[in-house]
Amino acid sequence: MRRHCFNLALPVVLALTMLLLGGCGSRAKRWLVFDKGPIKGDIAVDVDSFRGPVTVIADPDIPNVVVRCKLRAFNDVRDSRGNVVYPYGENQTLDLIDVTAEVEQDDNGRSILRVTSSTRFAYEHDQWVGLLINVPRVDGVRVHTTDGNVDLVNVRGAVTVVADNGNVILRTENPVVQPVDINAVNGSIEYRIKEDSHGVYDVESVGGRADFKGYKGLANIKQRGPSQFIATIGDGVNPVSLRATNGNVKVVVTEDPVPVGYLQTHTWMFLKK
């Protein structure tokens, strides 16, 4: 009898679940690819995304600068009863998303890849843009995104990241000798570097832990409780500020920082169609 009741209840639960999921309307997606061709010399990356994850990968084996964008949105907006509040035709909400990728030159002749995403849709939380940026090299990076993880791979130069409601991982084989400022709101930070990096570290987590893992004697660490520490690594004086709200911060010094990381984002999602 109990088994019979369970079998009857399961379809009801599934039906209610599908009703709730369907209450937000059907999803639409679109792919955009910006191939900016080869760029010589130093390249900085500047990203400003209204919502979605951002991955920046520096790979010297690739010839061109390529930005892949995955756009997702609901086709309409519905209330809790499933009634259409704002009807749109298929893919029309995607037409309200704007993505640009331009290469500019600064006063010193350095190339800057500027990638921006924005929306003209009143309900931007129903829209999302995933960015996968592949460049031969990264000499400085700035990223701001909302509701999305940030993954920086083999970057160099100064780094500034603000991630609202997302995790941040920086994992690079290049020496970090420039200023770094990373803020994760409602997210965690994992900072993975090699022993030839330098810096004066100011690390703090609000509502989480701050940990350092590396070679013994490599860093001069002053732990200020489980959620904060200051440290000096190497001979450099470049400031490294890592701040997380409602998340953990972990600094890892390792011989092989790139392949692993518990906050590593899944870049395959941008390539799968």
Query: Does residue 13 fall inside a structural domain?
Result: no
As to burial, measured by CB atoms within 10 angstroms (0-12 exposed, 13-18 middle, 19+ buried), residue 19 is: exposed
Query: Does residue 3 fall inside a structural domain?
Result: no
Same domain, 111 and 162: no
Q: What is the pLDDT of residue 267?
A: 52
Query: pLDDT digit string (tens) for 105-120?
Result: 988 888 999 999 999 8
Question: What three-state secondary structure class fits 96?
Answer: helix
Same domain, 130 and 158: no
Domain closes at, from 88, 116, 140? 140
Domain closes at, from 140, 175, 198? 140
Find the mean pLDDT for residues 55-61.
95
Residue 197 has pLDDT above 60, yes or no: yes
Query: Does residue 160 fall inside a structural domain?
Result: yes
Q: What's the domain range around 136?
A: 24-140
Query: Does residue 10 fall inside a structural domain?
Result: no
Q: What is the pLDDT of residue 215?
A: 60
Q: What is the pLDDT of residue 217?
A: 54
Distance CA 174, CA 271 (A): 26
Domain closes at, from 105, 140, 175? 140
Find the mean pLDDT for residues 179-191.
96
Distance CA 165, CA 185 (A): 5
Asked if residues 213 and 191 have their Cβ atoms less than 8 Å apart, the reply is no
Residue 30 has pLDDT above 80, yes or no: yes
pLDDT top residue among 74 and 183: 183
Distance CA 120, CA 97 (A): 7
Residue 18: pLDDT band with limits 50, 70, 90:
very low
Asked if residues 76 and 86 have their Cβ atoms less than 8 Å apart, the reply is yes
Helices (H) and strands (E) in the chain, counts: 2, 21
Find the mean pLDDT for residues 153-177.
95
Q: What is the pLDDT of residue 3?
A: 42
Same domain, 230 and 172: yes
Residue 13 has pLDDT above 80, yes or no: no
Same domain, 120 and 222: no
Query: Does residue 18 fall inside a structural domain?
Result: no
Comparing 85-94, 148-157, 189-198, 224-233, the range with the smallest average pLDDT is 85-94
| Measured CA distances, 89 to 3, 93, 124 (Å) | 44, 8, 17
Same domain, 29 and 121: yes
Question: What three-state secondary structure class fits 126?
Answer: helix
249: left (phi over 0), alpha (psi -120 to 50) or beta: beta
Find the mean pLDDT for residues 60-83.
84
Query: pLDDT digit string (tens) for 209-223?
Result: 999 887 655 667 787
Provide DSSP, 17-43. Answer: HHHHHHTT--EEEEEEEEEEE---S-E
The residue with tokens 């190497």 is: 234
Out of 2-11, 88-97, 227-236, 247-256, give the one with best mean pLDDT.
247-256
- CA nearest 246: which of 185, 204, 191? 185
Beta strand 249-253 pairing with 189-193: parallel
CA terminus-to-terminus distance, the chain: 45
Q: What is the pLDDT of residue 258?
A: 92
Query: Does residue 203 fall inside a structural domain?
Result: yes
Comparing 35-44, 169-178, 194-203, 261-270, the range with the smallest average pLDDT is 261-270
Same domain, 187 and 207: yes
Distance CA 66, CA 128 (A): 20
Same domain, 154 and 115: no
Out of 9-23, 25-39, 179-193, give the one with best mean pLDDT.
179-193
Query: Does residue 273 fall inside a structural domain?
Result: no
Query: Does residue 108 fall inside a structural domain?
Result: yes
Q: What is the pLDDT of residue 178?
A: 96
Same domain, 164 and 135: no
Same domain, 249 and 199: yes
Same domain, 158 and 127: no
Same domain, 122 and 168: no
| Structure-derived torsion over alpha carbons of residues 60, 52, 246, 122, reported in degrees to the nearest 10 | 160
Q: What is the pLDDT of residue 244?
A: 96
Domain total in the chain: 2
Same domain, 117 and 154: no
* Chain-centroid distance, C-alpha 91: 25
Two tokens, residue 203: 């690390």
